[in-house]
Chains A and B, each alone.
Chain A
Amino acid sequence: MRIWHELKIIRAFISVQKEVFFSRRFDLLLQFIGLGLNIIFIGIFAKLITINANISQYGTPNYLDYLLIGSIVHNLVFLPRGSISSFVLGRVFPILYNSPASLTAIFIGINAWRILWNVGLTLIITTIYVLFFGLTIHLNLGVVIVILSGVLLIFALDLFSAGFRIATKATQDPLNWFFNITAQLVSGLYFPPEALPWWLQPLSKIHPETYILQMGRLTMGGGYSLGQILPSLRDMLIITGVMLLFGYSMFVWGFNKARELGTLGHM
């Protein structure tokens, strides 16, 4: 019964956010124009580039597949980034904190439409890449597990970052910012990590996104099964579990600290 109520709340959020979203028709048109240009630009860019690296070790046959699968995985995995701090630090929090709905349902509800829309867009982009750019995609349980564990890991980091931001009332988000920048630079999103200078290679090796992208490319691009990537996935799941614990503890500490200092839901 409780779950039913929570689902109804999530549905209510989706319904109202969808209405707001589609009321801005010109914005929507501009978004699709931007998306089209982006697809054409990245597709042509990836076809023109020749890179001196062993691309096949990542499970993808060429650089185009390497880049496109990397950006699809990155876009999906990074969906929860910034969602917790923007929820708790946002204006709407004080009023929703006292509603009978659970904070989990509200949190999912607030982010649901954005996530659904972005997943939809990623599917459209992927379909275009498959149909017009010859991208090869494999879908199996391995892909789903890799994406989900990546999402959980980013969620854990976001929890940690939100705890810090709530406690300090910081408008900047240095942790997420650092993680995102380094992910683009060293994790192999745009080019293989082996092309990095030697002094950046260790950072690439400790960056979780490197492993998320590696496993994403192996399963989605190379068609590797869950069993084949299990040893690496197991390590990542352990790191995710530990980070979730750390993130949650930091969040609870930050939340209570803000309530002590009177900075939560500042009015």
Chain B
Amino acid sequence: MIESVGLSKFYPSPIKGPFDVKSLRDFLGKPREEIPALIDLNFKVKESEIFGLLGPNGAGKTTFCKIANALVIPTRGNLYISGYDSVKEHDKIKGKIFTIFGGERDLFGLFQWRVSVEKNLRFISELWRIPKIEAEKRINYALELLNLKDKKNEWYQKLSAGMRQKVYLALPLILQPEVLILDEPTVYIDVFTRREAWDAILELSREFGTTIILTTHNLNEAEMLCDRVLIFNKKKIAEGKPKELIEKFQTLKIERKLLVKIKGKINVEEFEKTAEKVNTYTQNGYTYLEIYVRRDYLKDVLTILTNHNVTDIQNKTTTLEDIFKELLGGENENLA
């Protein structure tokens, strides 16, 4: 359904001043390839799959979204959507792909502030050529699913920021595209609304078979929604199902992560031979420890802890966020 083949994008460096000859050359001729945004990105996404693209700021997520929308021409490689090159054959995928760009709460100004929610949605349905009666049904269904039914006749400008984001998220339910790209879709909304948004995303995949690419900083969101994820920072670092990645990561590195609260101080060198890594900080006379330990050494670590005044201990399971932090911290680069 979606295939990224050696997708790479390099930008020239920014203009350094009014007499920057290099910039003039970039403007008139072929731009220099100086700043990498994406390097040789390869992956495949199957139909109806929810695929997470996870990376830190500047990893190339928005560049990827722009290539998918034909707003950026890749330097090398191709991105195929439903078998068509997203840039060269853009005309053939128009209308089949829909993108929710992060940080945009009013669909790039397409939502009219002094028009009701329903009329706004009906107008956008008309642009996507959805027949009137069908559009009416889908609008009611989407508003119901997102708990927006009572806001139907209100002016868009009277809604709160979170409500507007929900109206934005109602659109894929109404337009039902083959491919949906969500670039940080829940960035502005609270935890309760986020749940409703997640339900809507899952509904799209299950009910309508929409293939979804989700880029997010919220690793909990990725773990919850994605069938598979790709961790990257300009180039691919790891790819797989969230659970598989966690298991793979555990066998490679972490067996246990213990969160310990001790009254008084402790010398972390005591764990030198037993723990993989120890993070520590003190507050109000207590020392808080984050101990990464292999299963074989668990008993030894607990023995050390018995010599101290432990007031609390928790065994934290490894999450996708741990993997993300570890991988992008420069370690385990061979995991992919």
A residues whose Cβ falls under 8 Å from a Cβ of B: 5, 8-9, 12, 15-17, 19-20, 23-24, 90-101, 106, 167-168, 256-257, 259-262, 264-265, 267
The reply to whether B31 and A97 contact each other, CB–CB distance below 8 Å, is: no
Q: How far is the CA of A9 from the CA of B125 in the complex (A)?
A: 10
- Considering the chains assembled together, what is the distance between the CA atoms of A267 and B69 in angstroms? 13
User: Nearest Cβ in chain A — how far from B335, in angstroms?
Assistant: 30
Is the C-beta of B66 less than 8 angstroms from some C-beta in chain A? yes
In the bound complex, residues from chain A placing their C-beta under 8 Å from that of B113 are 20
Q: Are A16 and B115 in contact (CB under 8 A)?
A: yes
A260 to B31, Cβ gap below 8 A?
yes
Binds A, one of B49-57, B70-78, B140-148, B220-228: B70-78
Beyond A8-B126, A23-B115, A92-B110, 10 extra complex contacts between A and B, CB < 8 Å: A19-B112, A92-B108, A94-B71, A98-B99, A99-B94, A99-B128, A100-B129, A167-B27, A256-B73, A261-B12
Task: Scan residues 151-203 of chain B and give those whose CB is less than 8 A from a CB of chain A.
Answer: none
Beyond A8-B126, A99-B95, is A267–B101 a contact (Cβ under 8 Å)? yes
- Inter-chain contacts of A267 with B (CB < 8 A): 62, 66, 101-104
Cβ-defined contact, B126 with A259, below 8 A? no
Shortest distance from the beta carbon of B200 to any chain A beta carbon, whole Å: 19
A-B contact pairs, 7 of them (CB 8 A): A9-B126, A23-B114, A96-B110, A99-B95, A257-B27, A261-B11, A262-B63
Query: Contacts A94-B108, A96-B110 given: A12-B126 contact, CB under 8 Å?
Result: yes
Contact A5 B71 (CB under 8 A): no
**A123 CB to nearest chain B CB (Å):** 26
Interface pair A16/B99, CB less than 8 Å apart:
no
Q: How far is the CA of A91 from the CA of B104 in the complex (A)?
A: 10
A19 engages B115 (CB within 8 Å) = yes
A11 → B minimal CB distance (Å): 8
* A100–B128 CB distance below 8 A: yes
Q: How far is the CB of B136 from chain A (nearest CB, A)?
A: 15
Contact across chains for B94 and A20 when beta carbons are under 8 A apart? no
CB < 8 Å: which of A16, A92, A94, A106 contacts B69?
A94
Please report the C-alpha to C-alpha distance between residue A24 and residue B99 in the assembled complex, in whole angstroms. 31
Per the 8 Å Cβ criterion, residues 23-61 of B in contact with A are 26-27, 31, 37
Docked CA distance A257–B126 (Å): 31
Minimum CB–CB distance from B77 to chain A (whole Å) comes to: 15
Cβ contact within 8 Å between A265 and B31: no
B329 at interface by CB-CB < 8 Å: no
If A12-B123, A262-B11 touch, whether A97 touches B71 (CB-CB below 8 Å) is yes
What is the CA–CA distance of A98 and B94 in the complex, to the nearest angstrom? Answer: 5
Closest chain B CB from A115 CB (angstroms):
18
Contact A262:B127 (CB < 8 A) given known A16-B115, A167-B27, A267-B62: no
Query: Is the Cβ of B115 less than 8 Å from the Cβ of A97?
Result: no
Cα–Cα distance between A265 and B71 once the two chains are bound (Å): 7
In the bound complex, what is the Cα–Cα distance between A19 and B116 (angstroms)? Answer: 10
Q: How many residues of B contact A (CB 8 A)?
A: 41
- What separation, in Å, do the CA atoms of A189 and B113 have in the docked complex? 38
Q: What are the 4 closest A-B residue pairs judged by CB atoms, nearest first?
A: A100-B95, A12-B126, A23-B114, A91-B109
A187 to B192, CA, bound (A): 63
Nearest chain-A residue to B87 (Cβ)? Answer: A259
The smallest C-beta distance from A253 to any residue of chain B, in angstroms, reads 10
Smallest CB separation, B121 vs chain A (Å): 11
Q: Is the CB of B108 within 8 A of A93?
A: yes
How far apart are the CA atoms of A16 and B127 in the complex, in Å? Answer: 12
Evaluate whether A100 and B123 lie within 8 angstroms (CB atoms) in the complex, with A16-B112, A94-B108, A262-B66 already known.
no
The answer to whether A92 and B127 touch across the interface, beta carbons within 8 angstroms, is: no
**Given known contacts A12-B123, A264-B72, A101 and B129 CB-to-CB distance under 8 angstroms:** yes
Q: Please, which residues of chain B bring their CB within 8 A of the CB of A95?
A: 99, 101, 107-108, 110
Given A20-B115, A24-B114, A96-B110, A264 and B71 contact (CB-CB distance below 8 Å) = yes
The answer to whether A100 and B94 touch (CB under 8 A), given A5-B129, A12-B123, A20-B115, is yes
Q: CA A256 – CA B70 in complex, angstroms?
A: 10
Q: Would you call B110 and A12 a contact (CB within 8 A)?
A: no
Q: Is the CB of B109 within 8 A of A90?
A: yes
Residues of chain B lying within 8 A (CB to CB) of residue A16: 112, 115, 119-120, 123
Q: How far is the CA of A260 from the CA of B12 in the complex (A)?
A: 10
**Nearest CB in chain B: distance from A209 CB, A:** 30
Instruction: Return the chain B residue nearest A8 by Cβ.
Output: B126
Residue from B73, B112, B120 with most neighbouring chain A CB atoms (10 Å): B73
Question: In the complex the two chains form, what is the Cα distance from A47 to B103 in whole Å?
Answer: 56
Chain B nearest CB from A107 CB (Å) reads 13
Residue from B70, B71, B119 with most neighbouring chain A CB atoms (10 Å)? B71
Residues of A within 8 A of B235 (CB): none
CB of B249 within 8 A of chain A? no
Does the CB pair A168–B27 fall under 8 Å?
yes
Q: How far is the CA of A9 from the CA of B95 in the complex (A)?
A: 14
Q: Is B98 close to A, CB under 8 A?
A: yes
Cβ of B231 within 8 Å of any chain A Cβ, yes or no, is no
